[in-house]
Every structure is written in C-alpha cells, then in structure tokens.
Amino acid sequence: MNKLDKYIIDNTNFLYNPCLEFACAFNTIGNLKYLKKLSEDLNYNIPEEDMILFDKMYNSMTKHMKNEMEYFNGIYMMGVVLVAYISDYEPFNDVKALLDFIEKSDETIFFNYLGGGYISEYESSLHEKWDEVNKDINKMLEYIKNIEIDNKEIKERIVDCFVNHDETKQRLCFLFRNFYEKVYKQYEEQVKDKCHRGIGLYKEILLKNPKEFMDKYLLEFFKVEGDNWDYKINIHVSLFKEVYFWVINMHDYKEKRGWVILGLNTKDIVYKKQLNEHIENFLKALSDPRRIKIIKLLSKRPHYGYEIASILELTPATVNHHMNFLFDADIISINKFDNKVYFELKHEKVKELFRETEKMLLNND
C-alpha cells in the first residue's frame, strides 16, 4: 500500500450517527415526493424494501404532522437545523438527547441555524455578512427581509417564522419530537442495521482503491492533489439520504474531523453511471463498419495485427486506431504467442454489453 492510500484510509472513518440519520429521515419522509422525482430523473429504482418502509413512515404521520412538514419543509429541508446542532454540539448519544438539547437551547442559536439554512438555500454569498447579525433575532429578521428571492410565498413564511419566533421554535421542536416518537422510533433499529450493512460495503470499496473511492463517491469534493490528501472525515452511511452525499461543512476538514453523509445506494448510481459510459463506448465501437469487420473476424479466432490489416486491406496504423476503440469498450484482450501480439475477442463481454444496451435503451432494468 502506498503512502497516499494509507493516509486516506487512516483519516477516513465510517461511523453510524443516529442523530444524523434522524435528520435525513426527517428531510426524506417529510418530502417523499422529492425523492421519488429524483429517482425518476436519475432513471434509478429505489429498492422496493426501502420504498415500502418510506411509505409506511409517511402514512403513519397524522394529518397535522403532514401539514406542518409541508409548511416548514416548503421553506427548505428543516433537517438542516438538526444537522447544525449535531455539527456544533456533538456528540449526542441518541436522538432524544439531541431533541432535549434543542428545546432547551437559546432562541438566538435556534434562529441563527434557521436563518443560516435559508441563506444557504437561496443566497449563499451572503453568509459572511450573516455572521454580523446572527446574535440578535431582530437584526436577523431585518437582514432576511432584505434578501430578494423569486418565490414570495417562501419569503413570507421565513419572515413570519422570525416575527413569531416563540411560536416558531415551539412548533418546530414539537414537530421534531412528534416525528421521532410517533413515526421514526419504531423503525430506528431496522434503519440502524441497514446503515451498518452499508458501512461494511463502503469500507470494502474504500480499501480496494482509496483514491478512486474519493473521486467516484464524493465527486472529488475532497480532491486528491498530486500525492496529497490533507483531510480528516467521518462518513455516515444513510438509508434516508439514499443517493449522493451531503457534506456537513461546519468545520475545517484539514484541522478537525467533519461529517459526510453518504447515501446507502450511491454505489448503485455510480455503478449505473459507469455501466452507461461503458455502453456508450461499446456503441462507439460499433459505429464504424471497419470495427464491425474486425469484431466479426476476431469472433472466429484470435488474430495478430498484420493479419487483420492484410485480410481487411487496412494499414497497420488504421488497425491500431480502431483497436483503441475496442479496448475502450473492453471487448478485446491481447496475448503474446510466438513473438506476436494476438487480439482476442471477449465473447461473453460482448453478449453482456448487448444485454445491458437493450436494458438501457428500452428501460427494462
């Protein structure tokens, strides 16, 4: 193992955080239609077992709880407020301890997080100036009034939250508590088991190729620069985040460990993306009649370069050019025999790619 890989492994922890998972559940179940739309946009099927669980949780909410969820999550995903407390005041042993802390916390802190989440959603460039007013609720209110956004209804809601700050905190804290006690708590252990299984899978992927893991699963957010990777992160694998990741950017990841929430099924999206790229390369390989002739030739037996050039009346340089497309599609291999380099067709790979191409084009997956 090289030095870079060892450093990435040593400074990347997979830890289950019950409070972060609760925050993700609050966001997802409170706006389940968003997840369903996202899965359609990504052409991704949420596992049936997970969807059954999500629907059960949503249907177990009272009408009042759904109305409150729709109201507050209509401003932005209020799980962000929970995450802000977790990031700045961790560790909490369980969700109940988190909710107790939030209820007892100073209103100014609560509204700093509420307003900060709003700014992040609609005008992230104003964060530095927000730090000048976030110690006073009235100053925060005036600041938010001056932020122009296109959706007037959302602006009216957040302003109303600040105007009626006593009531707002009580309503949100009650909603957090109610959602936990009446909806989430009964499934908490089941969720925990699923997340722990996900941790085991992602650990294996990280250990196989640490740099590739960072590039593919965290989209170069924690970028490897040359031979350097100077971060320290804890990764929480989340059932409710489902796909992609959420960086909890409250800390300097080079000085103090920060949290990253990684969707349990992000690996499936990454695999599908890789497969689609593979299929695109395969179709490119089939887009030239000369390459099709080469494939048909190799389907009979392996051939070396000059044989292919002679039979198909091509120059060796042209053969090499077309071979690059076939290599990119991963449908040929090379073997040396009698001081000659033979090209061999991967028959099973070609069959597999035809099957996957059919699924992709006809949406049969």
pLDDT at 271: 75
pLDDT at 59: 95
The Cβ of residue 148 has, within 10 Å, a number of other Cβ atoms equal to: 9
Give the class (CATH, top level) of 269-362: mainly alpha
pLDDT digits 0-9 by tens, 310-335: 999 999 999 999 999 999 889 999 99
Q: Are 329 and 281 in contact (CB under 8 A)?
A: yes
DSSP string, 41-97: HTT-PPPHHHHHHHHHHHHTS-HHHHHHHHHHHTTS-THHHHHHHHHHH---SSHHH
- pLDDT at residue 93 in the model: 87
Instruction: In whole angstroms, give the CA distance from residue 182 to residue 57.
Output: 9
Question: pTM for the whole thing?
Answer: 0.80
Q: By three-state DSSP, how is residue 255 classified? A: coil
pLDDT tens digits along 234-285: 999 999 998 888 988 655 677 778 899 999 988 887 777 777 788 888 999 9
Tokens of 236: 């929480």
* Domain residue ranges of the chain, discontinuous segments joined by +: 3-264, 269-362
Q: C-alpha distances in angstroms, 115 versus 71, 98, 119, 130, 172?
A: 16, 20, 6, 9, 14
Taking only the tens place, the pLDDT of each residue in 337-353 is 888 889 999 999 999 89
| Mean pLDDT computed over every residue of the chain | 90
Residue 95 has pLDDT above 60, yes or no: yes
